[in-house]
């Protein structure tokens, strides 16, 4: 973890990449995973993430409502889901090299936390929350729209997000890779289980997904696997 001038330079570089000058201390909190805060003390980013999630959803909803006046609410909801999903947010995070700046505890660092989609997605939301607090609602909305604009231009993404398992199956069939296989495990008590699904294609683990049900986890994993394979064109 960088400190002092090196840290400030790194945060300044990240601010430049997202196009908004954010207070360094506030941005540092947005980048702090709870695992780091538990080991070192101080605040973590989950409150900012909570705020950013709401701002993200509202900004994307209004954008879609205005951009697609002929779509009904069901289609709009599906498109919104594809743009605010963990897969989409993690893709945004990787594009701005967010993983380089995360503050992680030792356990997360050792298990590849800098490239975990869930951590990256949560941190994007936390940064949106930080921009709202530090620069105001208009700047936060502008940031959201700037980040999701490239994704909105990708028509194939919407189709995959609406039925990710079918889209993945069609993609692997077109490339003669055989059928995707899913491995699902669950943790936690029966009333509050978390499921993790892995997608294997041609004997390669392509992606994982997390959800509160087996179906949700499989769909998340399928969408991420589709995104990974699409990038290998």
According to DSSP, the residues that pair with 210 across neighbouring strands are 196
Q: Which pLDDT tens digits describe the chain residue by residue (233 residues)?
A: 444 444 555 677 788 888 888 888 999 999 999 999 999 999 999 999 999 999 999 999 999 999 999 989 988 887 888 788 877 888 889 888 999 999 999 988 888 889 888 899 999 999 999 999 999 999 999 999 999 988 887 766 666 666 788 889 989 999 999 999 999 999 888 877 888 999 999 999 999 888 778 888 898 889 889 888 988 86
pTM higher than the cut 0.75: no
The one catalytic residue in 53, 108, 198, 218 is 53
Q: Other C-beta atoms within 10 Å of 212: how many?
A: 13
SS (H, E, C) 136-197: CHHHHHHHHHHHHHHHHCCHHHHHHHHCHHHHHHHHHHHCCCCCCEEEEEEECCHHHCEEEE
- Specify the pairing of strand 181-187 against strand 194-201: antiparallel
Q: Tell me which H or E stretch contains 209.
A: strand 204-211
Q: Is 125 a catalytic residue?
A: yes
Q: Is 53 a catalytic residue?
A: yes
pLDDT of residue 159: 64
Kindly compute the dihedral angle of the four CA atoms of residues 227, 210, 124, 147, in this order, to the nearest 10 degrees. 30
Task: Determine if residue 100 is labeled as part of a ligand binding site.
Answer: no
Q: Tell me which H or E stretch contains 206.
A: strand 204-211
The one catalytic residue in 91, 125, 198, 224 is 125
Task: Determine if residue 125 is labeled as part of a ligand binding site.
Answer: yes
């Amino acid at each position: 973890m960088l400190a002092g001038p090196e840290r400030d330079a790194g945060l300044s570089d990240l601010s430049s990449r997202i196009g908004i000058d954010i207070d360094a201390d506030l941005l540092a909190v947005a980048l702090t995973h709870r695992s780091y805060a538990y080991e070192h003390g101080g605040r973590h980013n989950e409150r900012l993430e909570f705020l950013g999630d709401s701002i993200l959803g509202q900004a994307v909803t209004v954008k879609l409502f205005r951009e697609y006046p002929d779509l009904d609410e069901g289609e709009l909801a599906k498109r919104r889901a594809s743009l605010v999903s963990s897969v989409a947010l993690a893709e945004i995070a990787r594009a701005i090299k967010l993983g380089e700046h995360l503050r992680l505890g030792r356990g997360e660092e050792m298990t590849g936390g800098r490239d975990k989609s869930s951590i990256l997605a949560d941190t994007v939301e936390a940064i949106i929350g930080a921009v709202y607090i530090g620069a105001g609602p208009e700047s936060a909305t502008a940031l959201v729209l700037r980040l999701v604009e490239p994704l909105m231009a990708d028509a194939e993404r919407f189709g995959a997000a609406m039925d990710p398992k079918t889209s993945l199956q069609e993609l692997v069939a077109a490339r003669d890779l055989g059928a995707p296989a899913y491995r699902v495990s669950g943790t936690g008590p029966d009333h509050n289980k978390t499921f993790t699904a892995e997608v294997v294609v041609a004997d390669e683990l392509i992606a994982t997904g997390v959800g509160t049900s087996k179906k949700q986890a499989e769909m998340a994993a399928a969408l991420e696997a589709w995104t990974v394979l699409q990038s290998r064109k």
